[in-house]
């Protein structure tokens, strides 16, 4: 970091009252009519450097900094924003990098409204009119992108090779984070990935209009420069065993995510034209040569696409569908069907609004009861049953209750099941790992599993969650692995 980067006690006191009057800066987005005709990121960011610096100045540098506590990786947000407002963009980016392996990703797709920005003191003032929180996510993106465009993250002088080696299963945010921390400590790292390219859900899930693929690709290139090796098209448990990995490596990290798409278990679910969410998203967002052979056939949408589910994955599916139908010159209808009401929808309001602006229809209080097909085996309709809300369930949300006799058919030529993701139970059970429904039990301090030298973190421990929580888990597991390897060397 340059001499400009200052710890909190060295930063001059700011005039907080004055800062409350600095106007929030506009974050530009592509218009809805324009963006459905391309796959580019919807959010464009601040007008220029000056606007980003002014937005950073809205941070009142409060000593309590609840934004840090609300961040799963505890980024020093006031410290980074101070450097940004001084124009020290690289220092600001490096402050984020002290605690996060992917500020360029988290800045774009973290649900900041319930993390850092949700706890921002500026946004939580009881003022009329209300003051928006400092737009921390977009400022994080701004400095991380500036750094990517100006030489990339610093490449540390690597220590002498340790002679030790780590295997990493899965190349999503968790696996990449562990790979980076292990490589920087001088260990040899090989990442084994089932898909043809590394990146996990950053590549094979999250659409380009939220996160351009070049962001994940730049991260992989950086890791390759650190010496990390990637072995793709290799499924752990099928193409390579734990015993083989333990033969070659001194420690193993399992970062295989929670990628088993939940099914509804309904009659007709195997009809042609019905896709699991990931199978649909990858066909829409990637080229055939980036996909395994069985997923290369492109999706062609007809008059009615129905996406079932109300979370963020569902929003990614409907917005992918809108782009596919618009860009094919069609005007197919795209509907999102959810069994509760909008108030209970689990995903981000911002994503829902994006979908609404782009022309997606929402049907609430409807649950699928079966799928109907034609004689050739293609889906033609979904039978839904109407629901009403009953008492709250364990999640605190009101439970949907079926209204008897309300079954009705909704025409559909494509259906996407976006019902959530599960852990890989057969894999966990087959390895003898302690787990619950495929989610691995790990030591809360070190990420160690019940098998010696085998660590885990990310969605395969927490269940389907967030990029930033996967990074936090992986950081903890990397520390555990480094201690484990150091202890092994000392033996
Ligand atoms: C469609 C979608 C949209 C999302 N949007 C957001 C968002 O906007 N913001 C956000 O914060 N989070 C979002 N998430 C969640 C986020 O992507 C995950 O929480 C995060 O990627 C988890 O990281 P991970 O490394 O644990 O797992 P993953 O990213 O799932 O990576 C696991 C990797 O392991 C590989 N793998 C699995 N099994 C094996 C095996 N047996 N052998 C070898 N490799 C294997 C997989 O192919 C994958 O590459 C989204 C998730 C989805 C599905």
pLDDT at 4: 44
- Give CATH superfamily name and number for 8-149: Alpha-helical ferredoxin (1.10.1060.10)
The packing angle between helices 173-184 and 213-225, to 10°, is 20
Nearest-CA residue for ligand 1 atom 9 is 109
- Give CATH superfamily name and number for 263-419: FAD/NAD(P)-binding domain (3.50.50.60)
Phi, psi of 168 (to 5 degrees): -120, 125
Q: What is residue 472's three-state secondary structure?
A: helix
How far is Cα 138 from Cα 43, in angstroms, rounded to an integer? 9
pLDDT at 51: 98
With a 6 Å cutoff on the Cβ, whether 259 touches ligand 1 is: yes
Phi, psi of 435 (to 5 degrees): -160, 165
Q: What is the position in ligand 1's atom list of the atom closest to the CA of 237?
A: 41
Q: What is the position in ligand 1's atom list of the atom closest to the CA of 277?
A: 1
Phi, psi of 71 (to 5 degrees): -90, 125
Against a cut of 0.85, is the pTM above it? yes
Nearest 5°: the CA angle 92, 97, 101 is: 145
Residue closest to 295 by CA, chosen among 315, 321, 323, 276: 276
Nearest-CA residue for ligand 1 atom 12 is 466
With a 6 Å cutoff on the Cβ, whether 109 touches ligand 1 is: yes
With a 6 Å cutoff on the Cβ, whether 89 touches ligand 1 is: no
Q: What is the position in ligand 1's atom list of the atom closest to the CA of 257?
A: 27
Among 100, 201, 424, name the best residue to mutate to test ligand 1's pocket (greatest count of ligand atoms within 8 A of Cβ): 201
What is the enclosing helix (H) or strand (E) of 166? strand 165-169
Q: How far is the CA of 373 from the centre of ligand 1 (A)?
A: 32
Q: Domain extents for the chain?
A: 8-149, 165-259+422-490, 263-419
pLDDT at 7: 64
Nearest-CA residue for ligand 1 atom 36 is 256
With a 6 Å cutoff on the Cβ, whether 457 touches ligand 1 is: no
How far is Cα 427 from Cα 463, in angstroms, rounded to an integer? 15
Q: How far is the CA of 460 from the centre of ligand 1 (A)?
A: 9
From the CB of residue 439, how many other CB atoms can be counted at a distance below 10 Å? Answer: 20
Q: Do domains 8-149 and 263-419 have the same CATH topology?
A: no
- As assigned by CATH, the class of the 165-259+422-490 domain is alpha beta
Q: What is the position in ligand 1's atom list of the atom closest to the CA of 110?
A: 11
For residue 441, give both structure tokens: 């039990």
With a 6 Å cutoff on the Cβ, whether 313 touches ligand 1 is: yes
If the chain, 491 residues long, is cut into consecutive pieces of 10 residues, what is the mean pLDDT of each piece? 57 86 96 97 97 97 94 97 97 97 98 96 86 96 97 93 96 98 97 96 96 96 97 96 96 96 94 96 90 88 96 96 93 94 90 96 97 98 96 84 96 96 95 96 97 97 97 98 89 70
With a 6 Å cutoff on the Cβ, whether 194 touches ligand 1 is: yes
């Amino acid at each position: 970091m340059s001499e400009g980067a200052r710890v909190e006690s060295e930063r001059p006191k700011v005039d907080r009252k004055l800062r409350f009057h600095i106007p929030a800066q506009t974050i530009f987005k592509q218009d809805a009519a324009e963006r459905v005709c391309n796959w580019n990121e919807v959010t464009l960011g601040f007008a220029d450097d000056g606007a980003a610096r002014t937005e950073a100045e809205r941070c009142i540098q409060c000593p309590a900094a609840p934004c840090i506590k609300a961040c799963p990786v505890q980024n020093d947000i006031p410290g980074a924003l101070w450097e940004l407002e001084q124009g020290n963009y690289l220092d600001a980016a490096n402050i984020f990098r002290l605690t996060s392996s992917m500020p360029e990703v988290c800045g774009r797709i973290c649900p900041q409204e319930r993390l850092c920005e949700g706890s921002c003191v500026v946004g939580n003032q009881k003022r009329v009119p209300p003051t928006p929180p400092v737009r921390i996510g977009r400022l994080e993106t701004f400095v991380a992108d500036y750094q990517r465009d100006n030489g990339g993250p610093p490449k540390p002088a690597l220590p002498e090779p340790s002679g030790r080696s780590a295997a990493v299963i899965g190349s999503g945010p968790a696996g990449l984070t562990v790979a980076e921390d292990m490589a920087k400590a001088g260990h040899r790292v090989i990442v084994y990935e089932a898909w043809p390219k590394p990146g996990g859900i950053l590549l094979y899930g999250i659409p380009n209009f939220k996160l351009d693929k070049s962001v994940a690709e730049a991260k992989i290139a950086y890791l390759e420069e650190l010496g990390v090796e990637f072995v793709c098209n290799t499924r752990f448990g099928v193409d390579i065993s734990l015993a083989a990995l333990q033969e070659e490596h001194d420690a193993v990290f399992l970062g295989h995510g929670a990628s088993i798409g939940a099914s509804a278990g309904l009659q007709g679910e195997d009809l042609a034209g019905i896709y699991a969410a990931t199978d649909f998203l990858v066909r829409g967002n990637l080229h055939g040569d980036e996909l395994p052979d069985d997923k290369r056939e492109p999706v062609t949408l007809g008059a009615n696409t129905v996406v079932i589910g109300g979370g963020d994955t569902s929003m990614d599916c409907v917005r992918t569908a809108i782009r596919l139908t618009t860009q094919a010159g069609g005007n197919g209808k795209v509907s999102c069907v959810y069994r509760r009401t909008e108030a209970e929808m689990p995903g981000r309001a911002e994503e829902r609004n994006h979908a609404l602006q782009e022309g997606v229809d929402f049907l609430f209080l409807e649950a699928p009861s079966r799928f109907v097909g034609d004689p050739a085996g293609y889906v033609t309709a979904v039978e839904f049953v109407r629901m009403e809300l009953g008492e709250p369930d364990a999640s605190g949300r009101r439970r949907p209750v079926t209204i008897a006799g309300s079954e009705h058919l909704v025409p559909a030529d494509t259906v996407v099941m976006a019902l959530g993701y599960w852990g890989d139970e057969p894999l966990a059970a087959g390895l003898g790992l302690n787990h619950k429904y495929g989610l691995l039990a790990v030591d809360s301090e070190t990420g160690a599993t019940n098998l010696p030298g085998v660590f885990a973190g990310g969605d395969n421990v927490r269940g389907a969650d967030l990029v930033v929580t996967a990074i936090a888990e992986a950081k903890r597991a990397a520390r555990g692995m480094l201690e484990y390897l150091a202890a092994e060397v000392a033996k």
